[in-house]
Structure 1
Amino acid sequence: MPLTTRPLTRDDLDKSDALIDEAFGEPPSGTTPPSADDPPRPGYHAFGTFDDDHLVARLATRGYHSWFGGSAVPSGGIAGVVVTAERRGTKLLDDLFRVALDDGLRERGEAVSTMFCTAPGIYRKFGYEVISSYDTVEVPAVALARIGAPAGVRTRRATPGDFEAVCRVYDTWAAAQNGPLTRRGPAFPADAKAYIDAFTGVTLAVDDAGDVIGFASWRRGQGSGDHATLEVSDLLALRGDAYRALWHVLGSFGTVVGQVRLHTSGHDVARLSLPSAHWKAVEREPYMLRVHDVPGAFAGRDWPVNGDVAFSVAGDHLGTTNGDWRLVIERGKATCAPAAAPDGPVLTPGGLALAWAGAQTCANLRMAGHLSGGMENDQALDRMLAPRPIHIRDHF
């Protein structure tokens, strides 16, 4: 009987949960499993491939917006990709990704999709490439204890009434990067009390005018001594002295914990305030991106300079990006349409993802095998695509 790939329904929940448990392990004891009676998860869409009545592969997409080039770009987050053990390596993901991306993401205007992965090589076939990673780093608390409290910035504990101020700091920081989720929309309910209650504390950095210019959200964890850890989910600020003020508070735990563990990515400017070179990566999860709709991806964000350049894409296994394209940028807005690109640069699908995200220059793409053909448009592409820091702050 031929394989069938379709959206999953509530009637498929038990089969889907069993497949997830098979791949990722059973949930912790005491965890309440999802029920078919639960309301639908906003922005969540699951797809499965069936062999007769047996679910043999599944994945889910989540509706997000990500900051790229100062614009909030609709983007689909790919999660929970699973193939049953006996069918791995049999190309079941081909049709699954084709249906999920084309029938799912494109219909909702999500021209790009992103994912965390443990094996990037599996997903390069589908045009995904690593643009950054979600990192966990450790800094000895005793090193932070040497950071003095700066003048002109005070710290205090946040209350639910500070939620909008915290969101403004995050939005200002995130809009200046490439990659962070907007933390708006159905996946991020605006529940101020739930946000504050999720942490042991949220510490604010406040300037002389009383404005919130930074925050750190942290959990104390268990125990004390050299092996105890203070977990920091966010450490973000809009000024260097605000970073130092927040590090100073975190360093005050140096008498009871051995290290501060921070979730971060890329070249975090928070590191510039540290007095030592301590910054030990203890976990790193690659973050991949695919451009699925070329015209939609370029039209969906702002661009810093005007330009007109032709390029080609070749080798897309899913077929949606292959062809010759002409990119025209005027007054910050782009149009990208099919057009002849004789002897111009040729990008792989992964190279397109890296270039669009601003993660690599043309020179680096050529060295990595993601760009070939004529070099006369390389400088124009670099100038138009304008790489900027890439940061990831949310795991899904």
Structure 2
Amino acid sequence: MDIELRAVKDEAEAKRFMIACEATFGDELTDDDWKDFKNVLESDRTIAAFDGDDIIGTAAAFSFRLTVPGGGEVRAAGVTVVGVLPSHRRKGVATKMMRKQLDDVRAAGEPVAILWASEGSIYQRFGYGLATVGQQIDIPRTKTRLLNDPDRVGTVKVGVPMENVGDLSKVYDRARSERPGMVARSEKWWKHHTLRDPERHRDGGGPRFSGILEIDSEPAAYALYRMHHKWDDGSPQGHIEVKELVATSPVAEREMWRFVFDIDLTASVKAWWLPQDSPLMLMLMEPRSLKARASDSIWARIVDVPGAFEARSYNGSGEVVIDVSDDFCPWNEGRWSFDISDGKARITKTDADADIKLHARELGALYLGAFTFAELERALRVETWTEGAIGRADDLFRTARKPWNPEIF
């Protein structure tokens, strides 16, 4: 089968590209979808797989700035719209697209690629590792009493999200500077991606609202939410759906959740993609009632070992030698010296004996701090060749906060 891979040439072909992508997921491209998506799609970063004149596979990437441990940033490819039509699956098309994409990412000087996976098994083949974990909750409003509940702090303003991008971005940017895994958002991204709210994606709920908490006249947290109304024998049985809740301090986070929990005419609150280390469970009188469930969020592919790991910070000083196997990006293969001095790394190839051996997938899981070397060792995913190496490595790599990415892209 002769498959041609190339970027789309013009807007008409870009629209065909997105129609094909939606078809791979059994959906259709509406005019509203296209109106927004064409504003964020980077046409030169698309990979269209052609069988003759037909587009039968799609992949693309966004040019992101990703926050890493220590508050710095690294350029990252935000992999998106990956799909192959059912007629052409299991014929190597996805592998060819991933091969071309990672080669392009490397050529562009981006050390990392990140994505949300439809199925983790697909992308682990290509060296992606689980880089952030999110939590989903579903709590009855009758069980939302706060522990050691103090007086309210601040005031909340409810409005239309599109009219409050300035305040939303202020909160988000402050939070992002301290949270690995979050990506920078432009005004265009806010308007055409984060805040887009087509009726067909509301799942029977109402329009999305923003609640913005102000403390000392400054925006300190926000919640993007919608109400799902349902009544049974005159009593409300619906729920609040929280799309995103971001705060700049623990107090602001507590007060933002207090606001959400107090919204009347609903029976429960549901939220997706809370951080792995969300303090909410410890803030409640009845933590079990959260019914918290963990799930994979973004996956990371280390494309350039020194470029990725020298961009983040570490703890103290020390050295660990890691032997990396990487069959899909062989330039990463070999033994790497992670020489840490006062929290900064110098990473070079070395002939020294390795302390730890792992696959590129594990580098992705370690990169932002979602998992430790010890956790990976207990999962039989790393080999230790030097006594005490796991502890030394974890002391160096330990992060203050777990990584988080709140938005599917």
Cα distance, 1:194 vs. partner? 8.8
Aligned to 1:365, the other structure's residue is in SS state helix
* CA distance in structure 2 between the partners assigned to 1:248 and 1:5 by the alignment: 51
For 1:157, the aligned partner's letter is K
1:234 corresponds to which of 229, 239, 244:
244
Q: 1:289 to 1:206 in 2, by over 3 A?
A: same
1:273 corresponds to which of 273, 279, 283:
283
The answer for the alignment partner of 1:214 in structure 2 is 221
Q: 1:285 to 1:345 in 2, by over 3 A?
A: closer
Conservation of the 8 A alpha-carbon contact between 2:229 and 2:237:
no
CA RMSD between the two structures? 3.4
Conservation of the 8 A alpha-carbon contact between 2:374 and 2:391:
no
User: So what's the TM-score if we normalise by structure 2?
Assistant: 0.82
* CA distance in structure 1 between the partners assigned to 2:372 and 2:194 by the alignment: 40
Cα distance, 1:283 vs. partner? 8.8
Aligned length in residues = 389
1:390 aligns with 2:391: no
Superposition pairs of residues 1-396 of structure 1, within 5 angstroms: 2-10=2-10, 12-13=13-14, 15-27=16-28, 31-32=31-32, 34=34, 41=41, 45-69=45-69, 70-103=71-104, 105-144=105-144, 150-151=150-151, 153-157=153-157, 163-184=165-186, 187-188=189-190, 200-207=208-215, 209-224=216-231, 225-254=235-264, 256-263=265-272, 264-277=274-287, 278-281=289-292, 284=295, 286-376=297-387, 377-387=389-399, 388-396=401-409
Give a deviation string over 1:119-153, Cα, whole Å, max 9, x none.
Answer: 21111111112223444422212223678974361
Q: 1:63 to 1:362 in 2, by over 3 A?
A: same
Structure 2: where are the runs of 5+ without partners? 198-205
Q: 1:304 to 1:173 in 2, by over 3 A?
A: farther
* CA distance in structure 1 between the partners assigned to 2:386 and 2:180 by the alignment: 26
Cα distance, 1:282 vs. partner? 7.3
For 2:173, the aligned partner's letter is D
* CA distance in structure 2 between the partners assigned to 1:98 and 1:192 by the alignment: 29
Cα distance, 1:354 vs. partner? 1.4
* CA distance in structure 1 between the partners assigned to 2:196 and 2:47 by the alignment: 30
Give a deviation string over 1:292-342, Cα, whole Å, max 9, x none.
Answer: 111110122333323332211114323232122122233433222222242
Q: 1:325 to 1:38 in 2, by over 3 A?
A: closer
Aligned to 1:381, the other structure's residue is in SS state helix
Cα distance, 1:82 vs. partner? 0.8
* CA distance in structure 1 between the partners assigned to 2:7 and 2:39 by the alignment: 17
* CA distance in structure 2 between the partners assigned to 1:31 and 1:282 by the alignment: 35
* CA distance in structure 2 between the partners assigned to 1:18 and 1:292 by the alignment: 30
Conservation of the 8 A alpha-carbon contact between 2:224 and 2:245:
yes
* CA distance in structure 1 between the partners assigned to 2:185 and 2:38 by the alignment: 23
Conservation of the 8 A alpha-carbon contact between 1:311 and 1:341:
no
* CA distance in structure 2 between the partners assigned to 1:194 and 1:116 by the alignment: 19
Cα distance, 1:107 vs. partner? 3.5
Using the TM superposition, name which of 232-241 and 382-391 deviates more: 232-241
* CA distance in structure 2 between the partners assigned to 1:238 and 1:379 by the alignment: 32
Give a deviation string over 1:34-85, Cα, whole Å, max 9, x none.
Answer: 38x9667358721123334343322111121222112122211111111221
For 1:216, the aligned partner's letter is A
User: So what's the TM-score if we normalise by structure 1?
Assistant: 0.84
Cα distance, 1:344 vs. partner? 3.1
